Amino acid sequence: MAVTAREIYLTRYPEGLPAPDSFVVKKRELPPPQEGEIAVRVVWMSVDPYMRGRMNPNVKSYIPPFSLEEPLDGGAVSQVIASRHKDFAIGDYVVGFNGGWRDHWVGKPEMFQKVDPAMAPLSTYLGVLGMPGLTAWAGISQILKPVEGDTMFVSGAAGAVGSIVCQIAKLKGCKVIASAGSEEKCQWLRDELGVDIALNYRDYKNSTELTKALAEHGPKGINCYFENVGGMHLEATLNVIAFGGRIALCGMISQYNNAKPEPGPYNLINLIGRGALMQGFIVSNYAHLALEFFSEMAPWVGAGKVKFRETVYDGLEAAPKAFLGLFSGENTGKAVIRVAPDKV
């Protein structure tokens, strides 16, 4: 098997927002799979905000930083093109947290899980039925634990995770207040996803103005807050958090490209008097619940109770543009890159 793989590398560790020239495509001959390995062609790949943290070699985190000497990686759906493992046949489709940012690669079987293209579009295994879906489901079911009648606030609500959070919250009987960065996204959240209130955060200059909006639409306080953005969103929520409120810290995308750390929220003290919980989490904390997640989410998606939108980019070379779009608000729903046709 002779395959020339195309792979995307960092040219340097970026300071602040990465630039297009922070990335470069390189080619190399793919080694044939060894005993127990498989070779795959990447069909769909994912870009996600957590990848920005891996571009800083000086920050200790739950996942190692990217190396300048190795290709970037991330979630991908691939098709087996050569196999030296009895459980994988040529033509099988697999999903894994590795393999993105390239068009071919070789890996060990424990890196992959088979997926059925007849059950759902392959790209959904990177979105609503994949890591973002599990993130949304786990943050709600394991941390926020809403009860019917609760008011839930969701920042970054038009993103891959936030849009799913909004819909699960509605299925759980919550009033949902959502925040997004354009009127078009707010209209989608209201008209298609059924949120009760959609706020364009660009209409608010600071946390004081956002606090007033949250107090108006959630007069009894915010019972649950799913945090994807940080900054004024967190400060405003802390001003109106209800007694016994819960905050799930999933991400703070507003700070990922800061050259210097921002000061922490001035009003954390509100958590004390109101007996509120604030807990950070990463999706791998709940990987053991993947089957439980899938058994609940797949029927919702199949019945149209959970809808999804994808921003699709074509071609491996489009991956940096798709990634940078995460920080400029260009993407709605899950950003995915179609690296190759589903079928050849």
User: Over 90: is that where the pLDDT of 279 sits?
Assistant: yes
Percentage, residues of the chain above pLDDT 70: 99
Give the containing element (helix H, strand E) for 133.
Answer: helix 131-138
User: Over 90: is that where the pLDDT of 105 sits?
Assistant: yes
User: Over 70: is that where the pLDDT of 26 sits?
Assistant: yes
Query: For residue 73, how many C-alpha atoms fall within 13 Å in the half-sphere facing its CB?
Result: 18
User: Over 80: is that where the pLDDT of 60 sits?
Assistant: no
Read off the pLDDT of residues 144-192 as tens digits, 9 standing for 90 and up.
999 999 999 999 999 999 999 999 999 999 999 999 999 999 999 999 9
Read off the pLDDT of residues 226-248 as tens digits, 9 standing for 90 and up.
999 999 999 999 999 999 999 99
Give the mean pLDDT of 64-69.
95
Give the containing element (helix H, strand E) for 4.
Answer: strand 3-10
Sign of CA dihedral 249, 240, 215, 217: positive
State whether residue 69 is helix, strand or coil.
coil
Give the mean pLDDT of 254-260.
88
Q: In the structure encoding, which two tokens stand for residue 282, read together?
A: 């990463």
- pLDDT of 204 reads 97
User: Over 70: is that where the pLDDT of 1 sits?
Assistant: no
Please identify which residue in the block is written with the tokens 């190399």. 28
Read off the pLDDT of residues 281-333 as tens digits, 9 standing for 90 and up.
999 999 999 999 999 999 999 999 999 999 999 999 999 999 999 999 999 99
Core vs surface per residue 213-223: b (16+ CB within 10 A) or e: bbeebbeebbb
Banded pLDDT at 339 (limits 50, 70, 90): very high
Banded pLDDT at 44 (limits 50, 70, 90): very high
- Residue 12 near residue 307 (C-beta atoms within 8 A): no
- pLDDT of 344 reads 61
Mean pLDDT, all residues of the chain: 95
- pLDDT of 61 reads 78
Structural domains in the chain, CATH included, are 3-127+308-338 (3.90.180.10), 131-284 (3.40.50.720)
Q: Which residues lie closer than 8 Å to 1 by C-beta, 6 or more apart?
A: 30, 32, 33, 39, 81, 82
User: Over 80: is that where the pLDDT of 206 sits?
Assistant: yes
- pLDDT of 115 reads 94
Banded pLDDT at 98 (limits 50, 70, 90): confident
